[in-house]
Chain A
Amino acid sequence: MSCLPTPEARHAKEVNQQIQRDLKKHKKDLKNTKKLLLLGTGESGKTTFIKQMRILHGKPYSQAELDNFRTLVYRNIYIAVQILIDAMDRLSIQYEEAPVEAETNRILEIDYENPPDQLPPADYSYINKFWKDKGVKQCFEKRNKFQISDSAEYFLDALDRVKEDDYNPTREDIVRVRLKTVGVHEYNFNIHGQNFLMVDVGGQRGERRKWISSFENVQSVIFLTAISEYDQVLAETEEDDNRLLESLQLFETIIRYPWFKNAAIVVFFNKFDLFEKKILTSNLEEYFPYEGPRADVKEAKNYIKQMFSEVYGGRGEILSTHFTCATDTDAMGKIFEAVKSYILSQNIKEIAGGNFS
């Protein structure tokens, strides 16, 4: 027996060294990467935000992905029409010109889970006429009485473009497509030299218990709330729980978590474009103890912002907020730049504070 290590031992030693090296590197990368959580209730625009980041900082969508989005657009349209037909019936609103019953039944029976590759002409003519009907428009105005996606109007208006044979989803179509997210998803972005690990989650009540799995090592949280939801109720329960109130309560819960004690928190008041339109017809004081003037965008938005700021007040800092429209790519790009510098400055403050104390 020689005193020299056997080849096996040498091999084992090298493996060990390799692991050590990797662990070090891993730790370093972890430090360099900012983990950014996207939180918020259902349909507040978390996945939309991720899509915008991909459009701005990721690779362009491939044709196969676009094809997939096209069927999703049709799916969105069929779902919207079926919901509207159902709502017309339940709210007993009269059609201006009632469609043929057999046709209505046919549309209702269409399996939107397997939408066609092209919009069939018969479906197009039905939906087109249906959407132009004054009764349906009236019904759509009362959409806070039932659950319909916010992008329904956008796609139904775009029907003529969408039915074309060579239709290819535009950038805006892609961000408008509604698809429920389940689970917790991580995405890596490099934005101007800074690595971000963005975490997208499902927002419904049942999904929230999963969030905790990604709460460690969080440097920043973007809390999204759909500001236009002040007159809507939750989709996931039978009770009439106000969506904005739910969002506010969720926000309160989140800022109290010990994990986020040192994290930079930014609130996005999303769907601001819808809010601006909605506030003119739907009164905020019916849902919240608001005493400002009616149909005043500025007052109303400040009131809602104030609600969130008060909740946040306990932390002794000023809440960083943005009024956003997640479907507007350019605006989102600018806002995210601002958010990024805020997050970085907060983190530097954090590190500095840690050194001095």
Chain B
Amino acid sequence: MSNVSRIVNTSLHKDRAFHLLKLEVVVVQLISEPNRLPVRTLKPLFRTSPVVSVFTGNELVSNLMAKLQTEKREALHIAGQLYKYAYLYPVDQSVTSVKDDSTLYRMQSEDRWPSQCISPTNLDYSTYLEKKLILKQKLTEYEQDAYDRFSVTYARNWHNLTIKAQEEANIEENYQKDERVVNQGEERTFWHLHRPPPGEPLVMESSIQKRNLNRSELTDIEIIQDLEIRLDVYRRAQKRNRVRSSHSADLIISHMENSSNQDPFLKKNVFNPWSNEHKLVSGNYINKFQLWNSSFDALIRDKSGRDLFRAFLKTEVSTENLSFCEEVTEYKMLPTSHLKDVALRIFKQYIGPTARNEINIDGKTLRIIKDRMVKPDRYTFDPAQNYIYDLMRKDSYCRFLKSHVYTNALKKYSIDRKAGRMSRILTHPLNAHSLHNNRGSMLECTSSDLNLVRSNSMDTLTEVDSIVSPCHTSIASSHTSFDDEHTHRKKASLYRNSSGLNFASVDYEDILDPGEVDQNRHPMNKSKSLTQPRLISIPVKNMSNSFDETALSQPAAPVLKNFPKPKSSKSFTHDEALRTQQLLTK
């Protein structure tokens, strides 16, 4: 019974250790007198070599029944357990369980019991595999895989390993033939237990090792301390804020409702990256904009959204917030060895007294970070990151949705998306002609088209404005018929009256507008920044007296470079400009 202490003191999980202990008691009983399990050597008729020290299944079961004074079912179960933990193994490799019949089994030798060797190393396993190869035995597929893997892993030790394997092979070659068969069977069974083939349960899998608390060995004080720690943990767990399940269910539902429009499995005509029908290049980015509009998280999670947001922050001189958040996110995924250096770098760059890109955190958060910097870990910057993230969401994001960086990008994509259709309308000779010589009919043409487009797009006016910019004065006066009367009448009249530039008078709409985005705004409103670089889209003669800010407010170029766009749109604008010009010069 010396096994008891040995097993209990191993690193095995307590329950399994006792299980093995009980099984070993049974095995010891089986192979000891009186009424010992009959082990004999068989000499079958058609086989050349005898089969040594074997017993049959029904011998085992009946012996177990007699020894343990139990019924057959339980005896079979115990035999199954003995087989499972490799205290015995079938002579025929194809047998995978213990049956109450004449199948032959053999006992495992004591030095290969699982309790003797809890977790053999991969090095041992490699040695075994190498030895098999030396003895010219065939490796199974998974063994071959393991062998290949380990030969790379242990490439350095491989030489020593081969020597060891060679020695073992030599020993085994000196065995008698039946001894060798037994040895092979035992080894095979041993490694089958510890390195089972794929798909079979890993019986000896080591669990996350729990503290083996043997109370009798602890002093009273230690026990009390232990209990106090537990109590503290439970108390804190109780204090933790819980979200009611009904509330979280509501949140999930509202999230699903919001994002169902973007789900390619629920809605057709949504860009689906898994489907071949959609080409990546002409992705339906308008949906991305909807997503970004609805939530800041979605914007930040998306690479192109972040780039757009960064371009906006550049105009407000607060990019350091975004880059800080990004760097902290990256920092959290670094290998532990790098953490300290990177933490110092981040601290120097964003937080410290001489920081180049100082972030705007409050003194309380600063103190927490400084305390934590003594011993930086992955969560050192979390309070600051949360603070800055929230600052961006509450302050910058609201303005972002109103900014011309965002609205121009949105406009650009609606144009790209519809470019094909609009170009069909405009390139028609009749339409093109009437467009520039007869404003009335042009209005009819565009307004009907507008109404058509309006039903499935939110950005029609800006789109049409930029395409038919030569006639924007008349387009502008037609605004009232599509837009909300009271908000746009004033604007429209301003357009009509504007002989020159009067941008400032309407631009106050941009101020502190944290709510929805006014999608139908005339691009004129977006010409807020006087320093913004501008491009000319469709330069036309005779139009100098009318308002030409429209032609100027093209999307800021750097913002858009990350978005793919249909090739056709660019050439279309250019061709169209030439065509218009030719028409006018005639």
- A and B associate: yes
Q: Which residues of chain A have a CB within 8 Å of any CB of chain B?
A: 7, 11, 14-15, 18-19, 21-22, 25-26, 29-30, 33, 47, 50-51, 53-54, 57-59, 62-69, 72, 105-106, 109-110, 113, 147, 179-190, 195-197, 202, 204-207, 209-210, 213, 234-238
Q: With an 8 A cutoff between CB atoms, is B513 at the interface?
A: yes
Q: With an 8 A cutoff between CB atoms, is B179 at the interface?
A: no
Contact B364 A182 (CB under 8 A): no
Q: Which residue, A14, A18, A234, has most C-beta atoms of chain B within 10 A?
A: A18
- Complex interface: stretch among B82-90, B148-156, B188-196, B352-360: B352-360
Contact B363 A234 (CB under 8 A): yes
CB contacts (< 8 Å) of B355 on chain A: these are 206
CB contacts (< 8 Å) of A185 on chain B: these are 316, 399
Contact A188 B398 (CB under 8 A): no
Chain B 317-374 residues near chain A, CB threshold 8 A: 317-318, 321, 355, 358-364, 366-367, 370
CB contacts (< 8 Å) of A62 on chain B: these are 513, 515-516
Q: With an 8 A cutoff between CB atoms, is B313 at the interface?
A: yes
CB contacts (< 8 Å) of B509 on chain A: these are 58-59
> In the complex, what distance in Å separates the CA atom of A181 from the CA atom of B512?
11
> In the complex, what distance in Å separates the CA atom of A61 from the CA atom of B91?
87
Pick the contact of B536 from A15, A67, A109 — CB < 8 Å?
A15
Q: Which residues of chain B have a CB within 8 Å of any CB of chain A?
A: 239-241, 313, 316-318, 321, 355, 358-364, 366-367, 370, 386, 390-396, 398-399, 487, 500-501, 503-505, 507-516, 528-530, 534, 536, 539, 541, 544, 548, 551-552, 577-578, 581-582
Apart from A196-B504, A206-B355, what are 4 other A-B pairs with CB-CB below 8 Å?
A: A33-B504, A109-B241, A188-B503, A206-B360
CB distance from A156 to the nearest CB of B (A): 20
Chain A minimum-CB-distance residue to B490: A59
Pick the contact of B578 from A7, A65, A179, A205 — CB < 8 Å?
A7
Contact B504 A189 (CB under 8 A): yes
Chain B minimum-CB-distance residue to A201: B317
Contact B512 A210 (CB under 8 A): no
CB contacts (< 8 Å) of B317 on chain A: these are 183-184, 210, 213
Contact A188 B528 (CB under 8 A): yes
CB distance from A41 to the nearest CB of B (A): 13
Sorted from nearest, which 6 A-B pairs have the closest CB atoms?
A64-B515, A183-B318, A206-B358, A109-B241, A183-B316, A188-B507
Contact B396 A180 (CB under 8 A): no
CB contacts (< 8 Å) of B534 on chain A: these are 22
Contact A238 B504 (CB under 8 A): no
From known contacts A185-B316, A209-B358, infer whether A180 and B512 are also in contact, taking CB-CB under 8 Å. Answer: no
> In the complex, what distance in Å separates the CA atom of A30 from the CA atom of B527?
13
> In the complex, what distance in Å separates the CA atom of A238 from the CA atom of B512?
31
How many A-B residue contacts, CB cutoff 8 Å?
151
Chain B minimum-CB-distance residue to A7: B578
> In the complex, what distance in Å separates the CA atom of A67 from the CA atom of B358?
32
Pick the contact of A182 from B370, B396, B507 — CB < 8 Å?
B396
Chain B minimum-CB-distance residue to A111: B241
CB distance from A223 to the nearest CB of B (A): 20
CB contacts (< 8 Å) of A235 on chain B: these are 362-363
From known contacts A59-B509, A210-B318, infer whether A236 and B366 are also in contact, taking CB-CB under 8 Å. Answer: yes
Chain B minimum-CB-distance residue to A235: B362
> In the complex, what distance in Å separates the CA atom of A178 from the CA atom of B508?
21
CB distance from B356 to the nearest CB of A (A): 9
> In the complex, what distance in Å separates the CA atom of A189 from the CA atom of B516?
21
Q: Which residue, B321, B508, B528, has most C-beta atoms of chain A within 10 A?
A: B508
CB distance from A347 to the nearest CB of B (A): 17
Contact B316 A65 (CB under 8 A): no
> In the complex, what distance in Å separates the CA atom of A197 from the CA atom of B507?
10
CB distance from A119 to the nearest CB of B (A): 15
> In the complex, what distance in Å separates the CA atom of A182 from the CA atom of B395?
7
> In the complex, what distance in Å separates the CA atom of A19 from the CA atom of B552?
9
Contact B313 A183 (CB under 8 A): yes
Pick the contact of B515 from A19, A67, A109, A110 — CB < 8 Å?
A67
Pick the contact of A202 from B313, B360, B581 — CB < 8 Å?
B360
Contact B360 A186 (CB under 8 A): no
Contact B363 A237 (CB under 8 A): yes
Contact B514 A65 (CB under 8 A): yes
CB contacts (< 8 Å) of A196 on chain B: these are 504
CB contacts (< 8 Å) of A189 on chain B: these are 504, 507-508, 511
CB contacts (< 8 Å) of A51 on chain B: these are 512
CB contacts (< 8 Å) of A182 on chain B: these are 316, 318, 321, 360, 391-392, 395-396
CB contacts (< 8 Å) of B541 on chain A: these are 14
Pick the contact of B360 from A63, A179, A236 — CB < 8 Å?
A236
Contact B504 A186 (CB under 8 A): no
Contact A204 B530 (CB under 8 A): no
> In the complex, what distance in Å separates the CA atom of A63 from the CA atom of B516?
9
Pick the contact of A180 from B358, B360, B552 — CB < 8 Å?
B360
Pick the contact of B487 from A26, A59, A188, A204 — CB < 8 Å?
A59
Contact B366 A238 (CB under 8 A): yes
CB contacts (< 8 Å) of A25 on chain B: these are 500-501
> In the complex, what distance in Å separates the CA atom of A116 from the CA atom of B239?
21
Chain A minimum-CB-distance residue to B394: A179
CB distance from A45 to the nearest CB of B (A): 14
CB distance from B526 to the nearest CB of A (A): 12
CB distance from B5 to the nearest CB of A (A): 48
CB distance from A23 to the nearest CB of B (A): 10
> In the complex, what distance in Å separates the CA atom of A238 from the CA atom of B352?
12
CB contacts (< 8 Å) of B539 on chain A: these are 11, 14-15, 18
CB distance from A122 to the nearest CB of B (A): 12
> In the complex, what distance in Å separates the CA atom of A109 from the CA atom of B241?
6
Contacts A/B (CB < 8 Å), 20 sampled: A7-B581, A14-B541, A15-B539, A21-B544, A22-B534, A29-B503, A30-B530, A59-B508, A62-B513, A105-B239, A109-B240, A180-B395, A182-B318, A184-B316, A186-B528, A186-B529, A189-B504, A190-B505, A236-B362, A236-B363
CB distance from A28 to the nearest CB of B (A): 8
Chain A minimum-CB-distance residue to B518: A62
> In the complex, what distance in Å separates the CA atom of A29 from the CA atom of B504?
9
Contact B364 A147 (CB under 8 A): yes
Pick the contact of B548 from A18, A59, A234 — CB < 8 Å?
A18
> In the complex, what distance in Å separates the CA atom of A29 from the CA atom of B367?
47
Chain A minimum-CB-distance residue to B581: A11
> In the complex, what distance in Å separates the CA atom of A238 from the CA atom of B318?
23
CB contacts (< 8 Å) of A210 on chain B: these are 317-318
> In the complex, what distance in Å separates the CA atom of A237 from the CA atom of B355?
14
> In the complex, what distance in Å separates the CA atom of A236 from the CA atom of B361?
6
CB contacts (< 8 Å) of B358 on chain A: these are 205-206, 209
CB distance from A15 to the nearest CB of B (A): 5
Chain A minimum-CB-distance residue to B393: A113
Contact A22 B321 (CB under 8 A): no
Contact B514 A58 (CB under 8 A): no
CB distance from A192 to the nearest CB of B (A): 11
CB contacts (< 8 Å) of A190 on chain B: these are 504-505, 508
CB contacts (< 8 Å) of B313 on chain A: these are 183
Pick the contact of A195 from B359, B362, B396, B504 — CB < 8 Å?
B504
